[in-house]
């Protein structure tokens, strides 16, 4: 599978030779038809004995085996349990949202919004002891330790907007920063912050020109970094396709909100038109600038007169350096390889992280963000990885700029020859080497979106 057809691509063209089956329902995009629990999984290599916890990943898996776009399918979380050097179990579970169980819709016939009626299909995170399945158009859903659905979670009734699928946990304070965007009525954007105990303590509207699709954002030690970009909601596309389109007149800008003044002014900085699904990381530099690394599309979902998408676009790694003193942004392309799903060591979110990794076709690429050098692990013909998560070697390992922290990268890999999937564990410091361990799963894990390693919490 080439980089142009990785699961990160946002369009949904049909596969060659399969005109009747849209791409997002064919091959390894196709949903699996049931839930499964399996124990004592076969392993090639050796699972590091320090790894004790769950590797979880969320993704769309329409229960009726049909959806109008890859992004619309019902959420299914796939988990592998590792413990004492063993692959103890695998399980996959649908997130039982009201949309799945009751056919609930985001808006009723009177135009009232139901924030529980989302697919919960994009990410799965843990904060303040709760495991949450996320989608940006609705409330999160809480999951149990066994991936059963507890129910929608609204922070004790305080969260009254949708919640982004890409919240940022501050490694220094334990706070969870996130936002919600609206598509029909204002406010089109609301910034939220929960404290380390999971209590929602800040919710403030932020004025933007229209219903922009803000998928991700960034966090630094001193700033919340917002991306106000020209992909906007279009009510006329609802029911026909993905209801968003490129808008040449909207503009593109990056906003800085000081964390110590969360109700203060957002400073906006103009960018060249582009779109970003995913940020790798951001940090405050010693010279007062703010540095952001992200996967940048030159444009996305430009529509023809009949509403069809005009051509596919791909993302590559870029760097933005924002200078608040001069009001300018320096934009720099870091690589020309198409890719998506950038991640770094989560213990360095908001700080200078010298290494990040991106899924590029059949390979996982690790970037040295200081020098621009890169190393790749090629999984071989027909073996396609998803997003990879960094897992530190242990709680005592260092997490600081300039230090290559020992650890592993974990990702699900689909093998087209066998139509099965593996959980592959790689040495983050020796990415080109053979996998440390390959856990052979009893089923196929369809291409999906995001996940995390949830290490066992101290007793």
* pLDDT, tens digit (0-9, with 9 covering 90-100), for 289-331: 999 999 999 999 998 877 677 777 899 999 999 999 999 999 9
Give first-to-last CA distance, the chain, whole Å.
44
User: Domain 3-455 maps to which CATH number in 1.10.10, 2.120.10, 1.10.287, 1.10.1060?
Assistant: 2.120.10
- The three-point CA angle 346-208-230 to 5° equals 75
What pLDDT score was predicted for residue 2?
32
| pLDDT digit string, tens, across residues 200-217 | 999 999 999 999 999 999
The predicted model gives 28-33 an average pLDDT of 96
The residue extents of the domains of the chain are 3-455
β-bridge pairing 168-169 and 267-270 = unpaired
If pLDDT is split at 50, 70 and 90, which confidence band does 396 have? Answer: low
Per DSSP, 429 falls in state T
Q: How big is the chain, counted in residues?
A: 459
Q: What residue spans of 25-97 are helical by DSSP H?
A: none
If pLDDT is split at 50, 70 and 90, which confidence band does 405 have? Answer: confident
| pLDDT digit string, tens, across residues 6-17 | 344 333 333 333
If pLDDT is split at 50, 70 and 90, which confidence band does 108 have? Answer: confident
- What φ, ψ does residue 411 adopt, rounded to 5°? -155, 150
The predicted model gives 266-289 an average pLDDT of 98
Q: Outline where DSSP puts E strands in 18-65.
A: 36-39, 42-45, 53-60
User: Exposure pattern of 226-257 as b/e (b: 16+ CB <10 Å)?
Assistant: bbbbbbbbbeeeeeebbbbbbbeebebbbbbb
Closest CA to 166 of 200, 127, 202, 207: 127
If pLDDT is split at 50, 70 and 90, which confidence band does 21 have? Answer: confident
Report the C-alpha gap between 231 and 365 in whole angstroms: 28
The pLDDT mean for the chain works out to 92
Cβ distance 451 to 124 under 8 Å? Answer: yes
- SS3 of the chain: helix, strand, coil, percent, to 5: 5, 40, 55
pTM: 0.93
| pLDDT digit string, tens, across residues 182-191 | 998 899 999 9
Q: How many CB atoms lie within 10 A of CB 193?
A: 21
Q: How many CB atoms lie within 10 A of CB 83?
A: 15
The predicted model gives 346-367 an average pLDDT of 96
What pLDDT score was predicted for residue 42?
98
Rg (CA), the chain: 21
Q: Is the peptide bond before 187 cis (omega within 30 degrees of 0)?
A: yes
- The three-point CA angle 280-146-449 to 5° equals 25
């Amino acid at each position: 599978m080439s980089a142009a057809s990785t699961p990160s691509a946002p369009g949904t063209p049909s596969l060659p030779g399969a005109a009747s089956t849209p791409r997002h329902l064919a091959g390894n995009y196709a949903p699996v038809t049931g839930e499964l629990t399996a124990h004592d999984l076969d392993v090639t290599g050796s699972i590091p004995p320090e790894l004790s916890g769950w590797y979880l990943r969320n993704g769309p898996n329409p229960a009726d085996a049909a959806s109008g776009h890859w992004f619309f399918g019902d959420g299914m979380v796939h988990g592998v349990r590792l413990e004492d050097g063993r692959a103890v179990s695998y399980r996959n579970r649908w997130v039982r949202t009201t949309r799945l169980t009751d056919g609930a819709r985001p808006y009723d016939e009177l135009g009232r919004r139901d924030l529980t009626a989302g697919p919960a299909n994009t990410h799965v995170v843990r904060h303040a002891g709760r495991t949450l399945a996320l989608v940006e158009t609705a409330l999160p859903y809480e999951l149990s330790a066994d991936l059963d659905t507890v129910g929608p979670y609204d922070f004790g009734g305080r969260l009254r907007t949708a919640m982004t699928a890409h919240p940022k946990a501050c490694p220094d304070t334990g706070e969870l920063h996130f936002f919600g965007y609206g598509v029909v009525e204002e406010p089109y954007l609301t910034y939220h912050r929960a404290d380390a105990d999971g209590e929602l303590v800040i919710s403030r509207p932020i004025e933007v020109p229209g219903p922009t699709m803000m998928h991700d954002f960034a966090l630094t030690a001193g700033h919340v970094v917002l991306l106000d970009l020209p992909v906007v909601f279009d009510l006329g596309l609802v029911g026909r396709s993905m209801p968003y389109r490129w808008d040449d007149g909207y503009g593109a800008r990056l906003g800085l909100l000081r964390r110590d003044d969360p109700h203060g002014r957002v400073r906006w900085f103009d960018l060249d038109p582009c779109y970003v699904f995913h940020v790798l990381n951001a940090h405050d530099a010693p010279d007062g600038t703010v540095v952001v690394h992200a996967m940048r599309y030159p444009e996305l979902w430009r529509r023809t007169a009949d509403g069809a998408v005009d051509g596919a676009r791909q993302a590559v790694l870029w760097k933005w350096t924002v200078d608040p003193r001069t009001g300018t942004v320096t934009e720099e392309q870091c690589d020309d390889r198409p890719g998506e799903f950038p991640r770094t060591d989560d213990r360095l979110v908001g700080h200078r992280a010298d290494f990040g990794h991106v899924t590029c076709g059949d390979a996982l690429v690790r970037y040295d963000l200081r020098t621009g050098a890169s190393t790749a692990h090629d999984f071989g013909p027909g073996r396609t990885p998803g997003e990879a998560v960094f897992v530190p070697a242990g709680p005592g390992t260092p997490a600081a700029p300039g230090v290559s922290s020992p650890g592993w990268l974990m990702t699900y890999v689909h093998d087209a020859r066998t139509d099965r999937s593996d959980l592959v564990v790689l040495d983050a410091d020796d990415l080109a080497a053979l996998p440390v361990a390959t856990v052979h799963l009893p089923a196929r894990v369809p291409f999906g979106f995001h996940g995390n390693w949830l290490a066992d919490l101290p007793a």
